[in-house]
Amino acid sequence: MKLYIGLDVHSKATVYVAMDEEGQVMKRGNVETSPEGLARLLDETKAKAGTLVGLETGTQATWVARLLTAAGMEPVVIDAREVRAKARRRGQKTDGRDAFEIADGVRRGIYASIVYVPPVEVERLRKILSRRRHFVKAATRETGAAKFLFRQAGRGSAMPKLTTESAWAKLLASPRAEGLREHLAMHAALWRLAQEQVAALETELDEALAPFRETAELLTTVPGVGRITAASFIAVLGTPERFPDSGAVGSYLGIVPSTYDSGESERHGRITRQGSGPLRAVLVEVAHHAANPRHPLHPYFARVCAKAGYKKAVVAVAHRLARILYRIWRTKTAFDVAKLNVEAVRETRTRTVYYRIRTAA
């Protein structure tokens, strides 16, 4: 008899429902959310190897899915929003009903938003990059706090960039810091501590990138793409074989325009912003390099910029970058300008100006 199991996983307890191929509930109950509790669940349901076990996305989903895989099960991690949208009783939510809906949905194969559970190496990359972002934000907050103190005291003009140890030391020794020095030293200490954590995480990132060294080197052949961008791209996609083409990658990252096309009405709006926000931010940061005429993607940037403005041009180039990085990874070939449909030229254009704004004498 084939079983289908649905789990509603919480931090302390997990509610489960097991049903057969006809939709008949064979077993239901709850166990502790721990390796021992999940082992007891499989024992109580007498689940055989290959049993489909459905669960929603959440904080616990990854390690639970890995444990189920190690036990010979086939975990199916479903986007929690789709589970809610397809629930029969939307206004009557209980853990037991959620577990039943998941088990029944897995049995009928109605779920489309199946979430990728990355292998251990990719998950390690994700964790390191996540912690690095956390401490970079912490350092930025301390810089902003120092600037706030100066502005509050009416001394905010010509503030230096507080991105190095020497810049902080110079600011603390400056006469402008009189009366603020004690508090500034506190912010400097926290900034220094955050920077130390960032440096430690970047060392750890070098070790975590070892299994993907060849891929990272290929991705960094794209102008403007560095180690952090390459690692972020690898961590989010996991493997290029998950996607049929580069267009699917753009949709997955939420960097494509939203579309409404129904009857005679057709509208295109801002990007969908689905998927990984941090990776979109990194790609957009790299895309700013295309504003430089020496960048090979500048012709694409200039064409969109002339029509829609700088910001939309940057997003358009970020989308193109995502597709280029995917093709490089999929084909295992370095970046080649010849494949961009651009040609290398160097020309100087002279403009004749007939009017200009008057300047003050």
- Cα–chain-centroid distance for residue 348? 41
**Residue 274 binned pLDDT confidence (cut-offs 50, 70, 90):** confident
Topology of domain 4-108, CATH: Nucleotidyltransferase; domain 5 (3.30.420)
DSSP 8-state code for residue 242: G
Residue 243 has a pLDDT of: 95
- Taking the model in full, what pTM does it have? 0.88
Residue type, 94: T
Q: What is the tens place of the pLDDT at every residue in 186-224?
A: 999 999 999 999 999 999 999 999 999 999 999 999 999
CA 340 to chain centre: 26
Lowest mean pLDDT: which of 69-78, 116-125, 322-331, 335-344? 335-344
What's the pLDDT score for residue 267?
85
User: 233-247: per-residue pLDDT in tens?
Assistant: 999 999 999 999 999
223-240 in b/e form (b: 16+ CB < 10 A) is: bbbeebbbbbbbbbbbeb
* Paired residues of 29 in beta bridges: 16
Sign (positive/negative) of CA torsion 298, 301, 305, 310? negative
Closest CA to 38 of 3, 75, 1: 75
Give the whole-angstrom CA distance, residue 116 versus residue 127.
16
CA distance 238 to 98: 29
Q: How far apart are CA 343 and CA 296, in angstroms?
A: 9
Residue 114 has pLDDT above 80, yes or no: yes
Q: Which two tokens stand for residue 32?
A: 């502790």
- Is 90 exceeded by the pLDDT of residue 17? yes
Q: What is the DSSP letter of 344?
A: -
CA terminus-to-terminus distance, the chain? 92
pLDDT of amino acid 60:
93
pLDDT of residue 2 exceeding 70, the answer is yes
d(CA 154, CA 351): 44
Q: Do 345 and 298 contact (CB within 8 A), yes or no?
A: no
Q: What is the pLDDT of residue 361?
A: 58
Place of tokens 């809610």: 84
3-state secondary structure at position 117: coil
Long-range contacts of residues 80-86, Cβ cutoff 8 Å, at least 24 apart: 80/56, 81/113, 82/111, 82/112, 82/113, 83/56, 83/111, 86/110, 86/111
